[in-house]
Structure 1
Amino acid sequence: MTSQVATAEVAQPYAQALLSIAQSKNLTEEFGEDARTFLSLLRADKQLQNFFGNPFIQSESKKALIKQIVGEGANPYLRNFLLVLVDKRRIAFLEPILQQYLALLRQLNQTVLAEVTSAIPLTEAQQQAITEKVIAITKARQVELETKVDSELIGGVIIKVGSQVIDASIRGQLRRLSLRLTSG
């Protein structure tokens, strides 16, 4: 398995190139939506990830699958970018490239990513309240929420923005209480 640093070094220039293409064609948000769709597809289907990462599968098979997934109605610039990744033998890095593209897009739009883990799915009102709180804390123009559900939290939420973590979960409160009781 490749290291995180090596993966980032490969992903960065390709993500930069994709952003340059998107900016020149005024398609940054459209590419962002496509990137999010591809990422959710890759995360949901490990076989797809393994298919792209397998060096023994012919490039033509990978290209055919990309054309099938993307379809004819897709943006030709993005489709061609994906096909170039196959030609350059970098399609295995698709997930980190797309993640890096989204990070660059957030930077461009002065948007922060807030990873929110909750015990149960959040309502629209709760998501809005978290968004407003994160904007107040970070002074960002916009917030992109990435939500996950973890029933082990019992209740509450954990919000991660960059390296800052706000643990307002019941599990976190119980853990802190336990530490205070054992240290005293």
Structure 2
Amino acid sequence: MAENILTSEVLEPYAQALMSLGQSNDLVDRFGEDMANILDTLNASADLKTLVASPLAKADVKKAVLDQVFGDAIHPFTRNFLMLLVDRRRVMFLEGICQQYQKLLRKLKQAVLAEVTSTVELSDDQKNAIRSKVIAMTNANSVDIETKIDPELIGGVIIKVGSQVIDASLRGQLRRITLRLTSAT
């Protein structure tokens, strides 16, 4: 419940405002790239994530660090957006706003997100095969793939698209066999 309130009251309006700015300036895709870049950077740096989320860090320090980290790698409008988030004390929600923007972008482009969990990093051919299967399943125009590594799967993959889950992992197959064997006795 709290997550829905956060999404509707904070994340959605900022993501929607950025989307509107992108649409009016034909920068929707560029902002999408910027959001992906920001998310990747936040996920790669626990220190940056901590600084952004910290209510104790001063606004000018946050602005200086964000400007130094992202600089010319992001569009000037995106940089101004980050500074606005700092000024309005909403930068702690940066990760969620970026994710919400990406959801809006996928909806606009009739794309879906496939969350793929595997035991090892997937090759480009494997990602393309998954992409093709998900497109056939959902009739989407395109598929964004987000990968996670889980060595406990033993082998195979788990693909989650929206509320649908396809468990093609060895762990899942063993669980199904166990259920069949126990229900047969």
Give the TM-score taking structure 2 as reference length. 0.94
Identify the residue that residue 122 of structure 1 maps to in structure 2.
122
Q: CA RMSD in A?
A: 1.4
Aligned 1:97-136 pairs, distance under 5 A: 97-136=97-136
Query: Are 2:80 and 1:71 aligned?
Result: no
Contact 1:28–1:105 (8 Å) recurs in 2:
yes
Change (3 A) 1:131 1:165: same
| Amino acid corresponding to residue 163 of structure 2 in structure 1 | S
| Amino acid corresponding to residue 57 of structure 1 in structure 2 | A
Deviations 1:44-83 (Å, cap 9, x if unpaired)?
Answer: 2222111111111111111111111121463110000000
Contact 1:7–1:96 (8 Å) recurs in 2:
no
The SS at the match of 1:71 is helix
Identify the residue that residue 175 of structure 2 maps to in structure 1.
175
> Counterparts of 1:58 and 1:107 in 2: how far apart (Å)?
36
> Counterparts of 1:130 and 1:73 in 2: how far apart (Å)?
30
> Counterparts of 1:168 and 1:105 in 2: how far apart (Å)?
29
Moved more, 92-101 or 56-65: 56-65
| Amino acid corresponding to residue 126 of structure 1 in structure 2 | Q
Identify the residue that residue 155 of structure 1 maps to in structure 2.
155
| Amino acid corresponding to residue 50 of structure 2 in structure 1 | N
Cα displacement (A) at 1:121: 1.6
Cα displacement (A) at 1:183: 2.4
Q: What stretches of structure 2 of length at least 5 have no aligned partner?
A: none
> Counterparts of 2:29 and 2:73 in 1: how far apart (Å)?
17
Q: What stretches of structure 1 of length at least 5 have no aligned partner?
A: none
Deviations 1:102-124 (Å, cap 9, x if unpaired)?
Answer: 00000000000001111122122
Q: How many residues end up aligned between the 2 structures?
A: 183
Runs of 4+ in 1 over 6 A off after TM superposition: none
Moved more, 29-38 or 41-50: 41-50
Contact 2:117–2:157 (8 Å) recurs in 1:
yes
The SS at the match of 1:115 is strand
The SS at the match of 2:57 is coil
Query: Are 2:7 and 1:8 aligned?
Result: yes
> Counterparts of 2:170 and 2:7 in 1: how far apart (Å)?
35
The SS at the match of 2:67 is helix
Cα displacement (A) at 1:128: 1.0
Moved more, 76-85 or 51-60: 51-60
Identify the residue that residue 26 of structure 2 maps to in structure 1.
26
Give the TM-score taking structure 1 as reference length. 0.95
Contact 1:158–1:168 (8 Å) recurs in 2:
yes
